Amino acid sequence: VDMEACRDRLYTQLSGGEKRRVQLARVLAQIHGPNPAQPGYLFLDEPMNGLDLSHQIEALELMKQLRTQGIGICMVLHDINQAIQNSDQIVLLKNGERLATGSPEDLANSDCLEAALEIRLQRQSVKGMPLPWLIPK
């Protein structure tokens, strides 16, 4: 989680984003539990909050690697583009109620996102991105 440079600092001296990365490292160290042959599950609530963009990208890449190892990952994300570009399935919630469940492709092209976010969206193709990028109109 790119914290080697901070190894001699106290936890209380770390920034908010650095503390998030330490917490992520603690979770990753425990994910397999006593039986490494049995895949585990990782539940994350806003794991990108407080991280700068480069560390967000690194964390999302790490999540992709864990998925290929059979680790189940459930993340709460408020950034709809991060969710669409990095998920297998999305559950869209508003005020604690489920509005939709589906693949990123289905939700990226549905009107339910606009209802949930209460804004009009423009879908824009971005080179290198498998799905459209959503921006406010």
Chain segment 1-31, per-residue pLDDT in tens: 888 889 899 999 999 889 988 988 888 777 7
| Amino acid code (one letter) for 6 | C
pTM of the predicted model over 0.85: no
Output the CA torsion 61→67→71→75 (10° steps): 60
How sure is the predictor about 34, in pLDDT bands with cuts at 50, 70 and 90?
A: low
| Token pair listed for 52 | 């700068």
- Euclidean distance between CA atoms 102 and 112, whole angstroms: 11
Extract the runs of DSSP E, i.e. beta strands, from the chain: 41-45, 72-76, 90-94, 97-102, 121-124, 133-136
In the chain the first and final C-alpha atoms are separated, in Å, by: 35
- Euclidean distance between CA atoms 65 and 87, whole angstroms: 13
How sure is the predictor about 32, in pLDDT bands with cuts at 50, 70 and 90?
A: low
Q: How many residues appear in the chain? A: 137
Residue 36's pLDDT is 63
- Euclidean distance between CA atoms 68 and 33, whole angstroms: 18
Residues 55-107: tens digit of each pLDDT: 899 989 989 988 888 888 999 999 999 999 999 999 999 999 999 999 999 99
